[in-house]
Amino acid sequence: MNILVTGAAGFIGYHLCEALLAEGHRVVGVDSFNDYYAPLLKTRRHAQLEGRDGYRGVKLDVAEYEPLRALVRDESIELICHLAAQAGVRYSLENPFAYQQANLQGFLNILETCRHEGIERLVYASSSSVYGGNEKLPFSETDDVGRPVSLYAATKRSNELMAHCYTHLYKFQTVGLRFFTVYGPWGRPDMAYWLFTEAISDGRPISVFNHGKMMRDFTYVDDIVAGVKASLFAGSLDRHEILNLGNHQSEPLPELIEAIAAELGVEPVMEYKPMQPGDVPATYADIDRAKSKLGFEPKTRLRDGIRAFIDWYKTHPEIATAVKESRHPAGTGAAS
């Protein structure tokens, strides 16, 4: 099929494009290549895709409607997987307009493109952050999601509501995927696992928020990609669908730190700090619906996934250096 993947130079987008190409699909990948984190990481991901049979990469900001719609029309796109977004909980506190532009305007442009270009199914990235201050674990798709605690979370919940509206009005199918703390090779350098690896490798102390009393549903990127692929092609989905994609394991933050330290062979030095604004103490995915609808079965244990990430990190020192040199001040300790 002809599939558009937005955010193709991003973490999940890159891995998804690789998987779709391996199955013989034609992929048009778009990305704005912004500088939220080191551009070298995005260009290196994208370089892995360029030259592959069936791939075309386009530099394009989804907040620009007319070029986006023209691309979908000209490339005879049949499915859209929308992964492009401004990520990061902390960054949304300092740069709210970036989220309005990318996550709201950009998503509206995607919806309007689907409406006018006859796209029958849109799969898009939501986030576990929509569960906000919920205290009931595990998080289920039927839980209340009316209490976001960050602007990032509010934009992702807004996307779900906008998708519902467009499905109701214009009848094309929308599938929202609530991702839970995705990690792995070629990952995001604003996430806790990368920050911890970088600091421990350099012999610096790591910032451990909420005094280490954090739980996360760490989900390996290959498992996420399997769920995204299934959501693109599954025949058993509702017209408007929301699904959790997580590992169904809520693990203490010290377990992550211990796994990283063990792979690096270095004893970490920890600086315990209070909870950061916009953060939550625990995430945990109920994945029964994804199992039933998609056959989703995450397979990767945290220790194995961290080993794969650190093996990759050690073999790409130039990327690690570029990330450190360009690190944004707000990119500290995101675990979501």
3-state SS string for the chain: CEEEEECCCCHHHHHHHHHHHHCCCEEEEEECCCCCCCHHHHHHHHHHHCCCCCEEEEECCCCCHHHHHHHHHHCCCCEEEECCCCCCHHHHHHCHHHHHHHHHHHHHHHHHHHHHHCCCEEEEEEEHHHHCCCCCCCECCCCCCCCCCCHHHHHHHHHHHHHHHHHHHHCCEEEEEEECCEECCCCCCCEHHHHHHHHHHHCCCEEEEHHHCCEECCEEHHHHHHHHHHHHHCCCCCCEEEEEECCCCCEEHHHHHHHHHHHHCCCCCEEEECCCCCCCCECCECCHHHHHHHCCCCCCCHHHHHHHHHHHHHCCHHHHHHHHHHCCCCCCCECC
- Tokens of residue 42, six digits: 């995005």
CA 182, CA 334: separation in Å to the nearest integer? 11
Q: Distance (Å, rounded) from C-alpha 81 to C-alpha 78?
A: 10
Residues forming a β-bridge with 144: none
- Clarify whether 65 is annotated catalytic: no
Q: Write down the catalytic residue from 91, 152, 183, 313.
A: 152
Phi, psi of 128 (to 5 degrees): -65, -15
Q: To 10 degrees, what angle do helices 317-326 and 192-202 make?
A: 100
Token pair belonging to 57: 């990469």
The residues annotated as belonging to the active site are 152
